[in-house]
Structure 1
Amino acid sequence: MADKPPVALEDRGKGGDGRRYSPSAARNREPIRDALKAHLGLPARVLEIASGTGEHGAFLVNELPGLDWTYSDIDPPSLESQRAWKAAAQSERL
């Protein structure tokens, strides 16, 4: 792991349940969903590199039946947020 933590380019707020929120994820999740729906055959499995807050995966597995999503990250606060989003999504595909 690097000596310095990863840099977040925006303020990522944190809810009481450990989920972090990213303004950019809220803005771009529907366009990402639409692009995946148009270009990705389902069922499919996605490995998200540097998953950040975890919002995209939690949103997309609920929007796209047949999509399995795997998070990855090296940042402990991001990993905590991803676990919290996974718990909130209650999906076996995340």
Structure 2
Amino acid sequence: MSGIGVPTVTLGRAPEHQFSCSRAGCRDEALWAIRWRNPKIHTADRRKTWLACEPHLETLREFLAARDFPLEVESVATLADPEPTQSTNE
């Protein structure tokens, strides 16, 4: 499961990203990011992200929690694109 960030076309403004829910068959707007890892196969610094709309947040969170996967729930606003890094040639 993975959500896809789809840019929204706007006139005269910077484009906004709309993220889709990761629940199978759901394309509603995701408001939540569930960051998780499977400790049997992922190192402590590795995180996967599932996106959730409001109605599917608990379903997806409970699915991961039932498997004892470490997880964090945060707003998709925290997924904003990072500032581009500038490289310098020295």
Higher strand share: 2
Quick check: which has more Rg, 1 or 2? 2
Establish whether TM, by shorter chain, passes 0.5: no
TM-score, normalised by the number of residues in structure 2: 0.30
Higher helix share: 1
